[in-house]
Amino acid sequence: MSLNQTPFEKGITRRTGKAREIAETINSNDNYSHSSDLTSGQALSYDLVLFTNKSAVYFDLIRQYIELSVIRKDMFQGQQYSVRAMALKITNDLTKILPPKSDQRKKVRLIHGIMRAQNPVSPPYDFSKPAFDREMNSFVNSYSILINNFKLLVAEAQECSYTPDNPEYTIDKCQSLINQTELMTKDIDLLLQKIYVIQEERTIIFSKIKDRCNAIYNRSRFLFGSYDPTFKKIYKLKLALL
């Protein structure tokens, strides 16, 4: 589904379209005069443009967040030398060299068992869904569990002076992968912070648009009367905006 085609965003697009019709109706009517900034058609048009611009930034940030999250997911599971592939190789090698009943061998298998049970979660993007907070928590926690346990596994390998038969699985390679994923996580967190800020700004602007439309509705009733065609049109548009 396209980012701006979620049920919530489709509703917002429809409602701002009605608000735009209200602005066009009164801006083209020479008999309409505003009594304050709140009843100004030009001010409503300005807020609609502002909302459109904020929405463009909002969707671009979400696009960046999704793209970066998909790249990170591939680093955890998907690419040849992913976190999970590295973890499996280390676990298999360590269980071969550690004594069968040793505590360290049990610990290594336990750590890998936790990683094997946790899949990296795809990024949620419909910020309006009632279940979004729960989905976001699952998204964040999945990577936290995987990277924290991978660090523990690498620490166990270091303690054993682990030397793999493939140079792509060395401790240094593992540490480099950890650093890359953590830097990417910071970038994703920063994008999410920006998204939340823009989302709040959009909410405030949209609320102002609704207030303006309601004020213009009341003003047009005062100026034209309830039987006037212009007022009736604005009345229908205002109802569709709710």
Contact 225, 20 (CB under 8 A): no
pLDDT in tens, 97-121: 999 889 999 999 999 999 999 999 9
Residues 6+ apart with CB under 8 A from 79: 85
Question: In terms of residue numbers, what domain contains 185?
Answer: 3-241
Distance (Å, whole) CA 216 – CA 213: 5
pLDDT in tens, 11-47: 999 999 999 999 999 999 999 999 999 999 999 999 9
Number of domains forming the structure of the chain: 1
Provide the whole-model pTM. 0.89
| pLDDT at res. 3 | 66
Contact 224, 16 (CB under 8 A): no
| pLDDT at res. 174 | 96
Q: How does 121-144 read in b/e, with b if 16+ C-beta sit within 10 Å? A: bebbbebeeeeeeebbeebeebbe
From the CA atom positions of the chain, what is the Rg in Å? 28
For Cα atoms 226, 231, 237, give the angle at the middle one, nearest 5 degrees.
Answer: 125
Distance (Å, whole) CA 1 – CA 24: 31
